[in-house]
Amino acid sequence: MSSEKSIQEIYKSYVATGSVKKFMNDIKAQGIQENDPRLSQIAELTKEREQKEKKVDYENFARRSTPCCGLMKKFSERQFVIPNFEKFTKTIEDLYWRIKPNTTGKNAAYIPQLASIPDYWGISICTVDGQRFQIGDTGNGFSIQSCCKPLNYAIACEYLTSDVVHKFIGQEPSGRMFNEMVLDHNNQPHNPMINSGAIATASLIYTLIDGDQRRSMADKFDMVKTWMERAGGNERFGFNNSIYLSEKEVADRNFALGYFMKENKVFPEKTNMLESLDFYFQLCSIETSAETFSVVASTFANGGVCPLTDEKIFSVDTCRDVLSLMHSCGLYDYSGQFSFNVGLPAKSGVSGVIMLVIPNLAGIVCYSPKLDQHGNSVRGIQFCEELLKTYAIHPYDNLRHTLARRSIYEDK
Ligand code: GLU
């Protein structure tokens, strides 16, 4: 069916019979939120109609549907990537409640401000079609911490190309603590997902994006934050100043790493190591919520195109590189075990966030500050592993010869 035909069908079955609102309710049942930017013009129409009781003619409806014709087509053909969204979200809800009583683990205490954060628990999902679901404490702000690493790496690759970035940083799991003072056999950080690699990535963005360094630190911070916001469908990103100050105050290890890397000539020429380090602390202190961050995760799942705005944020190659490194190095010293159990790219941060990407399907963000001995959110890891026991989404699952788990795509 062409998009035009879909819009005609929707007009016939909803609008002509007087109910734009019913259309909004039905599309919402499939996971498309009322505040979805793609639907903004239709949502306006609903409001206008409520206020003025005006009849909506086809031309008006078609005009307002044009910016979201792809969405309209998928809706009318029942072609969303998760076809039975209600059943899927019921499964997620069950998992949420099953995991909630698990209060084991401890908040990260080495950044003092993180130690006192309450025992939040939330799960947010955004599919590559922009179907969204939230349960629990998904609107609470958290500092993204290590979850800035894949984003910074992606931004550096977009600006400088992956080849340039990897002249300075490797691609191997280090098999050591995330903040360990160790370099690989080339005297470079093992990968961009651990502290040494992330500090080097911050220095690349900070030093190389404008060789003459005319842009101020404020401009560079805004540039990265704006990029994150675009990846998150232009939703809210802030900055947590107390986390930033707290981290900076106790950052002996990261300062030591900075000097160690400087001594080993890891940084590009003309790097101001201390400023780059400060820039890294700032990026770790960017604040968002699970709701918004799940949109970022879905942008990675969607080959770099934000599902809510259809804007191309990262190239397909950048996404593939980011996801490969998240897959092998995203979860500290649990990365190998996680890749064995779950097989999907994920990144965690010491604030208790885990961003899970199911390529071509969805981004999922779990937030729960209590961490296990590896520094990963206890409930977040449990969720990912239980999800895999429910749905056959491990890349090496075989759907033809298994009855044990369901296919997420055919969950009718
Ligand atoms: N800002 C933290 C640090 O550099 C990030 C650690 C993390 O989340 O893994 O120590």
Domain boundaries along the sequence of the chain: 3-77, 97-390
Task: Tell me the pTM.
Answer: 0.95
Indicate the average pLDDT of the chain: 93
What's the whole-number mean pLDDT along residues 13-29?
Answer: 86
With a 6 Å cutoff on the Cβ, whether 350 touches ligand 1 is yes
Residue 298 has pLDDT above 80, yes or no: yes
Task: Give the tens place of pLDDT for each residue, 122-147.
Answer: 999 999 999 999 999 999 999 999 99
CATH number for the region 97-390 comes to: 3.40.710.10
Q: Burial of 294 by CB count in 10 Å (0-12 exposed, 13-18 middle, 19+ buried)?
A: buried
pLDDT in the model for residue 94 = 98
* pLDDT range class, residue 49, cuts 50, 70, 90: low
CA 3 – CA 281 distance, rounded (Å): 47
pLDDT at position 291, please? 98
Ligand 1 in contact with 254 (CB < 6 A)? yes
Work out the end-to-end distance of the chain between its first and last CA atoms, rounded to an integer number of angstroms: 22
Q: What is the pLDDT of residue 67?
A: 86
Q: How many whole angstroms from 240 Cα to the centroid of ligand 1?
A: 14
pLDDT digits (tens, 9 = 90+) for 278-289: 999 999 999 999
Tell me the CA–centroid distance for residue 254 and ligand 1, in Å.
9
Beta-strand runs (E) in 99-237: 122-127, 132-136, 142-143
Measured from the CB, is residue 348 less than 6 Å from ligand 1? Answer: no
Q: What percent of the chain has pLDDT over 70?
A: 96
Span from the CA of 52 to the centroid of ligand 1 (angstroms) = 54
Residue type, 93: E
How far apart (Å, rounded) are the C-alpha atoms in residues 389 and 386? 5
Distance 303 CA to ligand 1 centre (A): 26
Is the pLDDT reported for residue 177 higher than 90? Answer: no
Q: Pick from 332, 378, 380, 306: which is nearest to 107 by CA?
A: 378
Give the C-alpha separation, 171 to 192, whole Å: 8
Q: Mind listing the pLDDT tens digit for each residue in 223-242? A: 999 999 999 999 989 999 99
Of residues 165 and 412, more confidence is placed in 165
Rounded Cα distance between 270 and 26, Å, is: 57
